[in-house]
Amino acid sequence: MRGSRRHRQRDSGSVRARFGLDFHDGRFDNFRMAQVVLEHLTKVFQGPGGEMVRAVEDACLEVGDQELLVLVGPSGCGKTTTLRLIAGLEEPTAGTIALDGQVVNDLPPKDRDVAMVFQQHALYPHMSVYENLGFGLKLRHYPRAEIERRVSYAAQVLDLAACLDRKPAALSGGQRQRVALGRAIVRRPKLFLLDEPLSNLDAQTRTQMRTEIARLQTRLAATMIYVTHDQVEALTLGHRVAVMKDGVLQQVAAPAELYRHPASRFVGAFIGSPPMNFFDGTLCGQGEALVFQETARDGAAPAACVTVPVEAARAAGLRGYVGKTIVCGVRPEHVRCRPLLPGGPAGPGGETVVEAVQALGSETYLHLAGQAGSFVARVPATEQFEANQRVSLAFDGQQAHFFNPLSGTAIA
């Protein structure tokens, strides 16, 4: 019996014919969709010393139907707590959670019609893949034919048909993670919640699984909220990305918007690898033009102060900051370096010394001496540099960002 079932599962055409699965444009029609709305959601825990810890602070967020939204931030920022609040595993201190227009604050987890995939696979080691996939449905007393129908579909989507008789110990890390995803798929929930599901995988498998999750979300046309601390994962997976810090949502935007127009110094530093370079200094007027001039610091030699031109179109919005201290942010790919000839003039952005060269094959990172420590330039691999070499600098003023030094918010 088991052998015949396995044979049927390897043949996707016979699976559709036998179980009546309906596909349109690669999507499975029986999945229900969900819109999620968080309004002023707050969660306060009591700390070990009796202090109040605000894990989530006044979060307002809307996740659209069929959207894959990624919650990203450093450890302890509140992203997992937000996910657990949506799932019903934590009770909010204030605010509301609505699924498809229905406030679910008082609904237990089993009645919210959501499926959660955790960082740990938590597979039953004594059960086969087939039994792991169908166990939740069996507990809910689904008919055997319906369990087989749903498990067969999940196995087909996740390329697990050849593994259905294996125990978890006989699977690779990526296969075990696919089984964990499959347990959520067979539920056919309104909403998928994924809590750092790839954290325990090696780098190569993580890259593969990111692609598989993105393909799966498109195929199912499912609503997903995905939590990670990995900004590369966030940028490659999310239709939109919500950046959190200390329980507060910092910015919610499409990946390209986050990268090109960070709303704060924190977002600029967290999104992007290597992170954005930051320089403290003042804006100076040079006729009609504005120039950012880095503040000199004692002991910073041999690094000269950085000079960054301000794009003419942005100068009007920055004139109120002339003579005031601000922070300038420049991404590594917008720092241009050229070897400085002995006695030759410095570049328009200044000059400095290469502290270290990090060759990555397709590109090279130069770690350069700066007033407040090293900063990084990303240069083509075809350009040759070496440690202790003096270089001239030029900065792309059109791509520069300026931040308030106290609040950290973007000012231009």
Q: Are 202 and 258 part of one and the same domain?
A: yes
Q: Are 279 and 362 part of one and the same domain?
A: yes
Q: Are 180 and 320 part of one and the same domain?
A: no
Q: Are 361 and 302 part of one and the same domain?
A: yes
| Residue 20 exposed, middle or buried by CB count within 10 Å (0-12, 13-18, 19+) | exposed
Any domain includes 408: no
Any domain includes 26: no
Q: Are 224 and 106 part of one and the same domain?
A: yes
**CA–CA dist 383, 335 (Å, integer):** 14
Of 168, 188, 208, the one marking the end of a domain is 188
Of 157, 188, 219, the one marking the end of a domain is 188
**CA–CA dist 373, 297 (Å, integer):** 10
Give the range of the structural domain holding residue 326, as residue numbers without chain letter: 274-403
Any domain includes 295: yes
Q: Are 1 and 139 part of one and the same domain?
A: yes
Q: Are 248 and 255 in contact (CB under 8 A)?
A: no
Q: Are 51 and 16 part of one and the same domain?
A: no
Domain count, the chain: 3
Q: Are 7 and 50 part of one and the same domain?
A: no
Q: Are 283 and 378 part of one and the same domain?
A: yes
Any domain includes 224: yes
Q: Whose CA is closest to 190, among 48, 53, 41, 88?
A: 88
With vertex at residue 381, the alpha carbon angle to CA 377 and CA 383, rounded to the nearest 5 degrees, is 75
**CA–CA dist 365, 310 (Å, integer):** 25
Q: What is the pLDDT of residue 3?
A: 42
What CATH number does the domain containing 10 carry?
3.40.50.300
Could you read off the pLDDT tens digit of each residue along the chain, which spans 412 residues? 344 444 333 343 433 333 333 433 344 445 566 899 999 999 999 888 888 999 999 999 999 999 999 999 999 999 999 999 999 999 999 999 999 999 999 999 989 989 988 877 788 899 999 999 999 899 889 999 999 999 998 898 888 989 999 999 999 888 888 898 888 889 888 899 999 988 878 888 888 888 888 988 888 888 999 999 999 999 999 999 999 999 999 999 999 999 999 999 999 999 999 999 999 999 998 777 899 999 987 755 556 789 999 988 888 888 889 999 999 999 999 999 999 888 778 889 999 999 999 999 999 999 999 888 899 999 999 999 999 999 999 999 999 999 999 999 999 6
Of 245, 267, 289, the one marking the end of a domain is 267
What CATH number does the domain containing 291 carry?
2.40.50.140
Any domain includes 5: yes
Any domain includes 44: yes
Q: Are 366 and 282 part of one and the same domain?
A: yes
* Pairing, β 223-228 against β 68-72: parallel
Any domain includes 91: no
Q: Are 107 and 119 part of one and the same domain?
A: no
Any domain includes 58: yes
Q: Whose CA is closest to 315, among 335, 286, 294?
A: 286
pLDDT (tens digit, 9 = 90+) per residue, 96-106? Answer: 999 999 999 99
Could you tell me which residues are beta bridge partners of residue 307?
293
Q: Are 149 and 206 part of one and the same domain?
A: no
